[in-house]
Amino acid sequence: MSLVNYATREITCKIVYYGPGRSGKTTNLHYIYGQVPEDRKGKMVSLATQTDRTLFFDFLPLDLGSISGFTTKFQLYTVPGQVYYQTTRRLVLQGADGVVFVADSQARQLEENIESFQDLHANLSDQGIDPRVMPLVVQYNKQDLPKDLILPVSELSDAINFRDVPEFSADALHGPGVFETLRGISEIVLRRLSTGGSAAAAASR
């Protein structure tokens, strides 16, 4: 559910980084935040409780263009991955325009990845959203680890990416694949808006 601000002529899109615990969601956001120029980003906000933490910040992308003369702004969110934070994940997912699923490439984490991906689809369905139409990309993080600890991308893809959405290898700690992933989901979200999404329709009236 993109937000249209007519006063500033901005469309704000919400992108949620989803995945199992410690897969690298927060690492992605910290890397992006550290690379975006100060004049193009807001403050990183941490909503912390005694048991979990949600991070978010907004930024203006450098070269993704505009829709109907409106500048596009993105808000990036992470959700806690641990199983018992179901309620928080559902809340953060509300109003999302796109999702980045961050999978942990370690072989021992495969089941957690699959469970988290199924959890994402279940939470979207519970909110009345058809998971098949939600803009989504998959990132296989931690590809920098020793080869004997991680699964090949082809094997991860076979196990997780049953929707055959765009997918990216990444090392979120050092940067490779991070902005490629972000650009991938951003372009899908903007393409959806420009071809009849609610914000684009509102902006063009």
Q: What is the per-residue pLDDT across 42-61, written as a single tens digit (0 to 9) for each?
A: 999 887 666 666 787 888 77
pLDDT reported for residue 202:
38
Q: What is the pLDDT of residue 141?
A: 98
Note the pLDDT of residue 46: 85
Query: What is the reported pLDDT for 54?
Result: 74
Band (196; pLDDT cuts 50, 70, 90) = low
User: Which CATH class name applies to 3-199?
Assistant: alpha beta
Residue 107's SS3 state is: helix
Instruction: For residues 78 and 16, give the distance between their C-alpha atoms in angstroms, rounded to a whole number.
Output: 6
Q: How far is CA 136 from CA 22, 54, 205, in A?
A: 20, 20, 28
What is the pTM (predicted TM-score) of this model? 0.89
Give 56-112 pLDDT, tens digit per residue.
788 877 566 667 778 888 999 987 766 557 777 888 899 999 999 999 999 999 999
Q: Contact, 36 vs 159, CB < 8 A?
A: no
Select the more confidently predicted residue: 145 or 4.
145
pLDDT of residue 29: 93
**Strand, coil or helix: 34:** helix
pLDDT for position 62: 58
86-93 helix and 110-126 helix, angle to the nearest 10 degrees = 60
pLDDT of 200 reads 36
What's the mean pLDDT in 197-205? 41
User: In the structure encoding, which two tokens stand for residue 203, read together?
Assistant: 């902006």
What pLDDT sits at residue 51? Answer: 61
User: What integer best gives the mean pLDDT of the chain?
Assistant: 87
Supply 42's token pair: 């807001």
